């Protein structure tokens, strides 16, 4: 297995981790209710995914 040539210093590892934490997640509008959701994820507001109801008894208000 390939191994890293050098150990990453604690400062460098911390710098990378905070950058990864700060990087914003992409958001798209839900096709059914319009709420901002993560792409390729079930909508937590209305329970739809790709136009289909996936959660029981939680339909959109519109």
Chosen residue from 5, 12, 16, 32 binding Zn ion by CB under 5 A: 32
Q: Say whether residue 42 binds Zn ion (CB under 5 A).
A: no
Encoded tokens for 22: 């700060």
Chosen residue from 27, 45, 49, 62 binding Zn ion by CB under 5 A: 45
Chosen residue from 33, 42, 49, 53 binding Zn ion by CB under 5 A: 33
Q: Say whether residue 46 binds Zn ion (CB under 5 A).
A: yes
Nearest 5 degrees, angle CA 33-CA 62-CA 42?
Answer: 25
Count the Cβ atoms, other than its own, within 10 Å of residue 47.
19
Encoded tokens for 2: 């390939």
């Amino acid at each position: 297995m390939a191994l890293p040539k050098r150990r990453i210093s604690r400062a460098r590892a911390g710098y990378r981790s905070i950058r990864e934490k700060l990087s914003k997640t992409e958001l798209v509008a839900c096709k059914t209710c319009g709420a901002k959701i993560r792409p390729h994820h079930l909508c937590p507001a209305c329970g739809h995914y790709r136009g289909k109801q996936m959660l029981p008894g939680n339909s959109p208000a519109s």
